[in-house]
C-alpha cells in the first residue's frame, strides 16, 4: 500500500511533464533519488526527524527541476531540437545523477563512517498500533495530494491555465496565459513531488544505489497503463501497476516457490508491452475515444437526459 502511494505520486509527476513538454522525463526518478540523499543526510548528519525532511527534500528537488528547465530544456527547445533529443538528454542526466550518488555514497562512508550501499531510515520511524509510521502517514498524504491537485487543475484559474497550455500552448498564449511561468511552475511541482517521494522511500524500504532505474520502469508502466495524457490516468495507473506487480509476484511465489520473487522486476516491462499492443493510449483512452463503448454509453445517456428535460418542459 505504501508502494501504491509512492507510485501514484511519481506517476503524476511523470505524466505532468509529458503533458506539458511532450517528452518522457527519464530523469524523474533520479531526481527522487536526490530527495532520498537530502533526507538521509539531514537525518544522519544533523539529526533531523525524517518527517521534517520531506518538505526540505521537496523544496530542494523542486528548485533542482526548475534549474534543469532553465539550463537544459529551454535552451534545447530554443535551438529547435526535437523531442528525441530531450529524451536522450534526460536519460544522460539520470546517469549523471546516478554517478553523483555513487560519489556521495563514498564521501559519506569516508567522512561520516556510515555504510551507504543503500539508504535505510526505518530505524528512525515511529510505530502506531504495530504499524510503521510511514504506512500511517503516506497513504493519507497521497490522498490529500491527489485531491489538492484535482481541485487546483479544475477549480483554480492558474490550474486551468496549466491544462490549457498543455493542450495547446500557442492558443493559450494568445488568450493571455503566461506560458513561461506555467512551464516553470510545472517543473517545480513535478520536482517537488519527486523529492517528496525520495524522502519517503528510505523509511519504507531499503533503497539501493540504483533504485531509480527500477522505479523508472515501474513508473513508465503505470503511466502507459493509465494513459500519458491524463492525470487521472496517472493515479489509476500508479495504483494498478502496483497491484498487478505485487499480485502476480505473490501468485508466482505460491506456484513456483520463493525463487519466483526474482522475476518481480520483469512484470512492469511485460505490462508496458501488453498495454501498447492492446490499448496504446492507456486505460483513460477508453473513456475519451469517440467510438469506445464507454463513450457511446455516456453520449446515449446524455441524449436521453436531454429528451427527458425537454419533455418535462413541454
Q: Structural domain boundaries of the chain?
A: 2-243
Q: In whole angstroms, give the CA distance from residue 127 to residue 265.
A: 29
Query: Span 173-187, mean pLDDT?
Result: 93
- Give ∠ CA 241-243-246 in degrees, rounded to 5: 100
Q: Is the pLDDT confidence value at 191 over 50? A: yes
Residue 17 CB neighbours (<10 A): 24
**What are the pLDDT digits (tens) for 221-262?**
999 888 888 888 899 999 999 999 888 888 888 888 888 788
Q: What is the pLDDT of residue 294?
A: 44
> Rounded distance, CA 200 to CA 32, Å?
10
The reported pTM is 0.87
Average pLDDT (33-44) is 93
pLDDT at 12: 96
Q: What is the DSSP letter of 237?
A: H
Contact 197, 31 (CB under 8 A): no
Neighbours of 145 (CB within 10 A): 17
Alpha-carbon span 180 to 159, nearest angstrom: 14
pLDDT (tens digit per residue) in 122-176:
999 999 988 999 999 999 999 999 999 999 999 999 999 999 999 888 888 988 8
Question: Using 50, 70 and 90 to split pLDDT, how confident is the model at 292?
Answer: very low
User: Which residue from 224, 222, 221, 227 is spatially nearest to 239, judged by alpha carbons?
Assistant: 222
Instruction: Report the C-alpha gap between 212 and 209 in whole angstroms.
Output: 8
Q: Residue 297 above 80 pLDDT?
A: no
Beta bridge pairs of residue 128 = 131
Residue 305 has pLDDT above 90, yes or no: no
Report how far residue 207's alpha carbon sits from residue 119's, in angstroms, rounded to the nearest whole number. 5
Q: Exposure string (b/e) for 94-107, b if CB count within 10 Å is 16 or more?
A: beebbeebeebbee
Percent of the chain with pLDDT over 90: 52
Say whether pLDDT at 45 is over 50: yes
As a whole number of angstroms, the distance between CA 196 and CA 198 comes to 5
| CA pair distance 298, 214, nearest whole angstrom | 39
> Residue ranges of the alpha helices (H) in the chain?
2-21, 28-44, 53-68, 74-78, 83-112, 133-155, 157-167, 169-174, 179-204, 211-226, 231-256, 266-278, 285-288, 293-313
Q: What is the pLDDT of residue 306?
A: 66
Reported confidence tier of residue 291, pLDDT bands at 50, 70, 90: very low
The least confident of 14-23, 130-139, 208-217 is 208-217
Amino acid at each position: 500500500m505504501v508502494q501504491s502511494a509512492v507510485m501514484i505520486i511519481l506517476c503524476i509527476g511523470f505524466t505532468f511533464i509529458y503533458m506539458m513538454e511532450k517528452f518522457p522525463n527519464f530523469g524523474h526518478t533520479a531526481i527522487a533519488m536526490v530527495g532520498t540523499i537530502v533526507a538521509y543526510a539531514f537525518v544522519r548528519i544533523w539529526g533531523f526527524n525524517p518527517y521534517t525532511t520531506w518538505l526540505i527534500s521537496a523544496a530542494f528537488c523542486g528548485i533542482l527541476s526548475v534549474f534543469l528547465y532553465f539550463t537544459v530544456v529551454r535552451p534545447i527547445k530554443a535551438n529547435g531540437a526535437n523531442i528525441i533529443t530531450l529524451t536522450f538528454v534526460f536519460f544522460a542526466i539520470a546517469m549523471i545523477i546516478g554517478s553523483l550518488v555513487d560519489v556521495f555514497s563514498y564521501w559519506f562512508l569516508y567522512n561520516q563512517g556510515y555504510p551507504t550501499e543503500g539508504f535505510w531510515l526505518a530505524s528512525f520511524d515511529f510505530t502506531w498500533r504495530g504499524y510503521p509510521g510511514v504506512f500511517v502517514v503516506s497513504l493519507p498524504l497521497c490522498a490529500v495530494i491527489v485531491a489538492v491537485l484535482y481541485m487546483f487543475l479544475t477549480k483554480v484559474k492558474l490550474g486551468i491555465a496549466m491544462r490549457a497550455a498543455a493542450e495547446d500552448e500557442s492558443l493559450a498564449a494568445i488568450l493571455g496565459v503566461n506560458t513561461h511561468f506555467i512551464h516553470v511552475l510545472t517543473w517545480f511541482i513535478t520536482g517537488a513531488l519527486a523529492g517528496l517521494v525520495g524522502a519517503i522511500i528510505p523509511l519504507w524500504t531499503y533503497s539501493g544505489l540504483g533504485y531509480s532505474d527500477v522505479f523508472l520502469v515501474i513508473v513508465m508502466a503505470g503511466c502507459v497503463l493509465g494513459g500519458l495524457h491524463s492525470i487521472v490516468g496517472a493515479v489509476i495507473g500508479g495504483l494498478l501497476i502496483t497491484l498487478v506487480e505485487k499480485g502476480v509476484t505473490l501468485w508466482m511465489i505460491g506456484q513456483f516457490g520463493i525463487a519466483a520473487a526474482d522475476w518481480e522486476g520483469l512484470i512492469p516491462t511485460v505490462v508496458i508491452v501488453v498495454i501498447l499492443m492492446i490499448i496504446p493510449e492507456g486505460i483513460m483512452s477508453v473513456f475519451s475515444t469517440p467510438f469506445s463503448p464507454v463513450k457511446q454509453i455516456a453520449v446515449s445517456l446524455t441524449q436521453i437526459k436531454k429528451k427527458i428535460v425537454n419533455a418535462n418542459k413541454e
